[in-house]
Structure 1
Amino acid sequence: MVINISRKLLSSLALFAAIIIFMQDVSAKQVKYIEIDGVIHPASSRFIQRAIDEANDSEAEALLIQLDTPGGLMESMRDIIKSILASDVPVIVYVSPSGSRAGSAGVFITLSAHVAAMAPGTNIGAAHPVSLGMGQEDDTTGVMEEKVLNDAVAFIRSIAEKQGRNADWAESAVRESASITETEALELGVIDVIAPSVDSLLVMLDGREVALPLGNRKLELTGVVLEEISRTWRDQFLEVISDPNIAYVLMMLGMYGLFFELYNPGTVVPGVIGGICLILAFFAFQTLPINVAGLLLIVLAIILFLLEIKVVSYGVLAIGGTISLILGSVMLIESPIPGVEISWGVILPGVIGTVLFFLVAISLSIKAQKRRPTTGLEGMIEETGEVIEKLDPVGKVKVRGEIWNAKSTVGKLPKGSQIRVQKAERNLLIVEEFKE
């Protein structure tokens, strides 16, 4: 009896201990974690904002953003910064791993973080704004650039001052494209800490106090669980089509599809695929610095190719279309930011493929124009037949098993004579005597 009681007691204690361990594991503090590697655009902006929302909803101890970016679009950057500054959960921006950088838009994002950190061997700076997709220069361009510059300076100074960072250096990063190493950034008060790894960063930040919208908060990072927020299929899809090379390929495929549909009405499938590709391409173009002149040159190239098919110009229109397509492809996306351009490895195959595609279409069109008609009145020309009612010079003939009114060019032809059609006028065939 005593043994049974002891066994039950031990079992209960073991179960209680397991529950305690489980509850401790469930209640363990979390630090949400994401990686941003590449250009800042609407797709990456949505992902970061979703991560901030998820960190707030789960009441995480902090959100850690590992950043490596050459820069990106101003509007996307501003949306990210708005979310960071409004977050009730501390946002840590960590420029890492070694060799990474926070350039252009990345400077603004790093300075806006509640904690800014960098790994050894990284750099930050060169935040001068650039005019994207203008495609022209006139007297107003300089004024607009100055307005954009002054706006960027005011913005970066405001976020630097709010987070207690070096606003003077921040201004120089915008006005003079100043760039510094992680050591210089720490010395100048641009960042808060240098850490060789995420684990060491969390240890160094444990107990640090940060200012949030609801007041100051001390980071409690001892024993936290690092949980990565993964990209959803939607995030991944938007990332893919935001690639300038993918957007360009989608546009070309869309044009091919629509051309096929126009050339062979009723095919349906090419038209549907082409329409979908064009819609996706135009969606991607909204996230990219598109040069309108480049886009118009590509449209002009397609028009010239189509005209070459309808109006044979002995290659003049085709040559013009090729030149227009090359220039348009090069000019389509105008950006000094690395990664926001169309690769020559995509442009050349695209241009060559398009030229070959239309050359084949043009050659088929020319052959079709030279081919003798086989239907209707025109299809009767050069056909042979037999007189079934004397031609004097008008009578009736039988051609292709059909009876036609006919007129002889050689005078009278008796019934049974063999004839050949010279031409057709309305419902009258003009014929001549045919001798084999």
Structure 2
Amino acid sequence: EKNVIDIRASNLQDLMEQAHGMEVDMDGNMRTLNLDNVDFNRIEKDWRTQFLTVITDPSVAYILMLIGIYGLILEFYNPGMGVPGVVGGISLLLGLYALQMLPISFVGLGLMLLGIALMVVEAFAPSFGIFGLGGAAAFVVGSIMLMDTDVPGYQIAMPLIAAVAVSTFVIMVFVLRMALQSRKAVVVSGAEGMVGSSAIATEDFTEEGHVRAWGEMWKATTDSPVQKGDRLRITSINGLKLTVTPEDQS
């Protein structure tokens, strides 16, 4: 209907038979195609071409870039793991190589990088979700805008972007929840963390003596008589001296 198709053929041989004798315009000169008894020479793709065909798929390039970025973030967050850094570096380079062969929007790419930067800031300096959720939103919008073309087949699959958006949101909620729990958690280290824990009397004493707490010897005071081996409860700390009471009285 739109005059963009000259022949509809079921196979290559059918195409040659229908095209035989057609007249075509070649640089202003009309030529007649002679396709009788044509020999076919099929050229197969080599491994390099097949590999490039796979990684230059927009969705595959997008996934490679995500693996690379999150792998490097994990390596920076836990130095010495090795595997995330190596896999992330290789994946990121492959993803960037594939993207430079595709019609991408640098605005979309910039939004994605901004979103990743904000999420990294949220991981290292929690802001109760402001940076994290803002980064997730920028990343999703950038993903939608990444391909700067309307040609079919050059768009990132929307289900993939939706899956990344949901997983990123879940991760941000988890990080935010962990940050809130850490602020509410009771101190379990240092002198404050010893209050309420147990100690063992290393000698008999009535007012002041020595106890073992947290693997160390401490001076301790008490209002009740204590015998060697009694389990005691630490009620307070004053400098380098503990105040204890027998556990059966605490």
- Does structure 2 conserve the Cα–Cα contact (< 8 Å) formed by 1:241 and 1:284? yes
Separation in structure 1 between the aligned mates of residue 56 and residue 22 of structure 2, nearest angstrom? 35
For residues 224-251 of structure 1, give each alpha carbon's deviation from its aligned partner in whole angstroms, at most 9, with x where no partner exists: 3212212122212211211212111222
Instruction: Describe the shift of the 1:276–1:370 C-alpha distance in structure 2 as closer, same or farther (beyond 3 A).
Output: farther
Separation in structure 1 between the aligned mates of residue 173 and residue 54 of structure 2, nearest angstrom? 31
- Does structure 1 conserve the Cα–Cα contact (< 8 Å) formed by 2:118 and 2:134? yes
Partner of 1:119: 6
Separation in structure 1 between the aligned mates of residue 159 and residue 240 of structure 2, nearest angstrom? 59
- Does structure 2 conserve the Cα–Cα contact (< 8 Å) formed by 1:304 and 1:317? yes
Q: Which blocks of at least 5 consecutive residues in structure 2 are unaligned?
A: 9-13
Instruction: Describe the shift of the 1:265–1:422 C-alpha distance in structure 2 as closer, same or farther (beyond 3 A).
Output: farther
- Does structure 2 conserve the Cα–Cα contact (< 8 Å) formed by 1:396 and 1:403? yes
Separation in structure 2 between the aligned mates of residue 423 and residue 298 of structure 1, nearest angstrom? 51
- Does structure 1 conserve the Cα–Cα contact (< 8 Å) formed by 2:129 and 2:176? no
Instruction: Name the amino acid aligned to 2:21.
Output: M
- 3-state SS of the aligned residue for 1:197? helix
Partner of 1:23: none
| Fraction of identical pairs, as percent | 31
- Does structure 2 conserve the Cα–Cα contact (< 8 Å) formed by 1:254 and 1:278? yes
Partner of 2:123: 309
Bigger Rg, which one = 1
Separation in structure 2 between the aligned mates of residue 391 and residue 204 of structure 1, nearest angstrom? 118
CA apart distance, 1:399:
0.5
Q: TM-score, normalised on structure 1? A: 0.44
For residues 403-429 of structure 1, give each alpha carbon's deviation from its aligned partner in whole angstroms, at most 9, with x where no partner exists: 13x576x8x8876584516459xxx54
Instruction: Describe the shift of the 1:237–1:421 C-alpha distance in structure 2 as closer, same or farther (beyond 3 A).
Output: farther
- Does structure 1 conserve the Cα–Cα contact (< 8 Å) formed by 2:116 and 2:136? no
Instruction: Describe the shift of the 1:331–1:197 C-alpha distance in structure 2 as closer, same or farther (beyond 3 A).
Output: same
- Does structure 2 conserve the Cα–Cα contact (< 8 Å) formed by 1:330 and 1:347? yes
Partner of 2:174: 360
CA apart distance, 1:315:
2.8
Separation in structure 1 between the aligned mates of residue 77 and residue 236 of structure 2, nearest angstrom? 32
Q: How many residues align?
A: 233
List aligned pairs for 1:239-258, cutoff 5 A.
239-258=53-72
Instruction: Describe the shift of the 1:384–1:266 C-alpha distance in structure 2 as closer, same or farther (beyond 3 A).
Output: same
Partner of 1:322: 136
Q: Which blocks of at least 5 consecutive residues in structure 1 are unaligned?
A: 1-97, 102-117, 122-195, 212-217
For residues 287-321 of structure 1, give each alpha carbon's deviation from its aligned partner in whole angstroms, at most 9, with x where no partner exists: 12232332232222223333333444333233212
For residues 123-144 of structure 1, give each alpha carbon's deviation from its aligned partner in whole angstroms, at most 9, with x where no partner exists: xxxxxxxxxxxxxxxxxxxxxx
CA apart distance, 1:382:
3.1
CA apart distance, 1:282:
0.7
